[in-house]
Chain A
Amino acid sequence: MNVKRNASPSIAGLLVSTSTTLIALIMLLPIAALIYESIASHFVSVPELDTTFSDLADSVLSHYIFNSLSIVSGTLLFACLFAIAPAWWCAHYEFTGRKVLQWLMIFPLAIPAYISAYIYTDALDYAGPIQSSLRQVFAWQSPQDYWFFDIRSHWGASLMLGLALYPYIFLLLRNTFENRSQNLTQAAQIMGATPRKIFWTIHLPLARPSLAIGCTLVAMESLADYGTVQLFAISTLTTAIYDSWLVYGSLASAAKISCLTLLFVITLVALEKNSRKKQQHFDSRGGKACPKEKASNIKSAFIWFICGGIVCLGFFIPLLTLVSYCFDYWRENMNEVILTHSQSTFLLAATAALVATLLAILFNSQQRFIPSTKNQFKLTLSSLGYAIPGTVLAIGILIPLGQLDLWTNQFITSLGFEKVGLIFSGTSFALILAFVIRFSAISNGSIQAAYKTMPPNLDAASTMLKASKFKTFTKIHFPIMRPAVITAFLLVFIECVKELPASLLLRPFDFETLATYVYQFASDEQLEHAASGALLIIVVSLVPILLLSRSQKMH
């Protein structure tokens, strides 16, 4: 925190305000660089007119946009399906093994979507073991003889992404449901409302901010996905960005399409914000927490059946498949380099998560203390990075950092020293910056949700007692939102461990993260040979998930 307790309020305020502005600008830098790239070509005369964008627009761009939209909506559908009911069950009912189930439901977060997608396409493809054995049993000869769910379709990709991403919604919703007000329920019960009606008219609408934040995260993540959709042979806007930049070689048109993607996200966020602008949800938590209803045996069994099924699909089946790969290709997998890679991954992710969490606290508490359009704007800016596909972000970062390196070296050599090389763009600095920019939306979301449910009269009371803002923060805000802070840190950590495209491009020499190590095999469709690496990704992400479940239990 940049707030000094003894400094006079105006200086401290100025300090915070300047530093947040500065940070927001830095976080905006890659986007600014991209926008500049996308329009610069119109002003600078180039020898050969770059027609990539119009070529794409003429041929395939509309298909790509349609595919992107259908993947995003499909993923949202599946993610909500997997998250909402279980979140409610876990918060509302008491049943055998509820605590365990609560944990298990978050486990799929540990598996990167591209890994489970690989495993499922392998298993469910026409040439995979399931269809092959079906063909043997029923003596079918060709694909025309029977119908089977085509995994490499929009539905398949949405299902995979939904399975990998639903825990975001689950986590946020369960928290909100858990903290729901008992008074409202009782009032509704007195008025004779059925439990079903109470859920649909009171609890779900009250949980809308959490649901909206969760859905926005899922939507952005699925929009920016590259690995999974590529595996499913579905061309989306991300494909268009990759193609125009890396195949057509036109950064300008890649930047244009990225800006288009950004526009989608901003529209999405704005629509969502606008629709609940007039709503204000505060939870005046008086008295005890809402008691849990005891679930009947049949109900418990039903809950376990559904949730267990989701967890099996999202976690245990991929996990066991990886373990079996490990045994099948024992020799290739027993490799000590992966231990080094997991160490560096762990360190890198922890640093980035720490920075992202601190920034989220800074931005959100500023907006809390001094609510203004400007501060809200800064907050929104610092969350934009999530929507940029990793590769594009990597380029967006390389542009300004490369320039910075150039200047630094010019400066240093002008002083008569040796060149220092790429100290910004060629070190872990670039990677950490990328992670922070990309995943700040997650930490912001988590902290923001915590602030949203914190009644403002707490602040008023504190102000009346003449407590400084800093004191209000440390004595009141922080203790209340501690679980959210831990959640923010851990979620960002997990994402950093799994992140692939930006790591591929930005990592320094002789540096592999687990994800890039696994990818070099997966990209050649030989995930089997790096199954141990994939398992380590899961283990490294599971540790924070276990911690996460612990911190959540504290309510």
Chain B
Amino acid sequence: MRLLLLSLVMILSGLAQAEQVNIYSFRQPFLIEPILAEFSKETGIKTKVIFAKKGLIQRLKREGQLSPADLVLTSDFNKLLQLKEQGLSQEFELSASLKKHIPDQFRDSKNHWLALTKRVRNVYSSKAKAGDQSNIRYEDLADAKFKGKICTRSGKHPYNLGLVASMIAHHGEAETEVWLKGVKANLARKPQGNDRAQVKAIKEGLCDISLGNSYYLGKMLQDPKQVAWANAVNLNFPNQQDRGAHINVSGAVIAKHAPHKVAAQKLLEFLAADQAQNLYAELNMEYPVSLSAKPSALVQSWGEFKADALPLEKIALYRKHALKLIDKVHFDL
């Protein structure tokens, strides 16, 4: 009972406090903290973050109209669309600057979600053993010449799910199933670890080719112990001769029942503006979505690339199909 009263008092006093934004984040706090600190410094609005890799959408749904969440930050586009589909988001105000800086492809047509950074699903290849793979296509990963040479993380990770969904969007389900079986047959080991772990495996000679997002290379180059892994691989942008590389985005929505909507809108604007976009680029080695922000010098040194132009909404339609296929071919088992 005492505890209850205490929490009641805590909440009531919380309500009386200054302006703040409550953030549900799928991204690790240490990735966004510097940017949020900058926001608080500039506007005086406090930010509170709760991070989980899984389950935040479900929590939001359960909390309903009482949810304290103002802004949800995700690390892939499927979650952005899920939030919208399940009626957990609301329209943000499309200000002139948002309209000017963020291309259509990276905003919801109904202004429910906004992408903040782009990440490419790259193919890493061993400098020592794989030769020149700069013309590689995702389709090639099923080619028998790579038998026993490919490493990847779980097929059900959002980054791989997005890729499989985009394969379905381009080739249809039947063809994708054949492809997925081919990739599975080429794996050097059961899918495991994260994207960095695959690069490490290449360095150690366990495999020649792996799938991974581009920013991991930048992160590894900054880590004194991992720099050797990063130096063992080439970064390739797939499908440059045809449709372009698959990209995923991190993004944000304003929660349906946001108690601090005005502050949330301010934060959204801030995250899409150049200062934050440049911070994203510098700190996390991601590609900014804003047309006026630039990738970091290191990321720029990886070269220009062509991105798949298919709208994210089209790809997201096949998310469930992708998941079923991955289970059907026993990709992770």
Contact = CB atoms under 8 A, between A and B. Distances in A.
Interface stretch (A1-9, A54-62, A304-312): A54-62
Interface in B129-162: 154, 156, 161
A54 B304 CA distance: 45
A127 B201 contact: yes
B64 A235 contact: no
Contact of B64 (A63, A132, A406): A406
A442 B201 CA distance: 41
Interface residues of A, number: 60
Contact of A509 (B22, B52, B191, B206): B22
Contacts of B327: 55-56, 59-60
A63 B203 CA distance: 32
A544 interface: no
A525 B197 contact: yes
B28 interface: yes
B11 A127 contact: no
A249 interface: yes
B191 A420 contact: no
Nearest to B25: A520
Interface in B72-118: 82
B204 A233 contact: no
A402 interface: yes
Most chain B CB within a 10 A radius of its CB, from A63, A132, A406, A505: A505
A522 to B, nearest CB: 11
A218 to B, nearest CB: 25
A432 B1 CA distance: 13
Interface residues of B, number: 56
B208 to A, nearest CB: 11
B333 A504 contact: no
Given A246-B54, A422-B66, A520-B30, A235 B206 contact: no
A505 B192 contact: no
B8 interface: yes
Contact of A127 (B161, B204, B332): B204
Given A235-B333, A402-B62, A428-B3, A423 B205 contact: no
Interface stretch (A96-104, A173-181, A393-401, A470-478): A393-401
Contacts of B3: 351, 428-429, 432
Given A235-B333, A520-B30, A520-B51, A421 B11 contact: yes
Contacts of A59: 324, 327-328, 330
B7 interface: yes
Interface string B1-31: 0011001101110010000001000001110
A221 interface: no
Interface string B37-61: 0000000000011111111001100
B30 A422 contact: no
B48 A510 contact: yes
Contacts of B320: 248
Contacts of B206: 126-127, 142-143
Contacts of A132: 204
Interface in A393-450: 394-395, 398-399, 402, 405-406, 409, 418-423, 425-429, 432
B332 A429 contact: no
Contacts of A235: 332-333
B194 A398 contact: no
Given A60-B333, A143-B206, A398 B62 contact: yes
A498 to B, nearest CB: 17
A120 interface: no
A242 interface: yes
A328 interface: yes
A63 B12 contact: no
A391 interface: yes
A256 interface: no
A410 to B, nearest CB: 10
A509 B53 CA distance: 16
Contacts of A245: 55, 58
B261 interface: no
Contacts of A523: 28, 53
Contacts of A233: 154, 190-193, 332
B50 A525 contact: no
Given A427-B7, A432-B3, A402 B63 contact: yes
A421 B68 contact: yes
Given A328-B225, A423-B4, A520-B28, A525 B323 contact: no
B194 A126 contact: no
Contacts of B54: 242, 246, 391
Given A127-B201, A423-B8, A429-B7, 12 more contacts: A55-B327, A126-B206, A142-B206, A233-B191, A245-B55, A246-B58, A395-B55, A398-B59, A420-B12, A426-B11, A426-B63, A510-B50
17 contacts: A60-B333, A126-B201, A127-B203, A233-B192, A235-B332, A242-B54, A248-B320, A394-B55, A395-B55, A395-B58, A423-B8, A426-B63, A429-B7, A510-B49, A520-B30, A525-B194, A525-B197
User: Which 4 A-B residue pairs are closest in the complex by CB-CB distance?
Assistant: A233-B192, A127-B204, A427-B7, A59-B327
Interface of B: 3-4, 7-8, 10-12, 15, 22, 28-30, 48-55, 58-59, 62-68, 82, 154, 156, 161, 189-194, 196-197, 200-201, 203-206, 225, 320, 323-324, 327-328, 330, 332-333
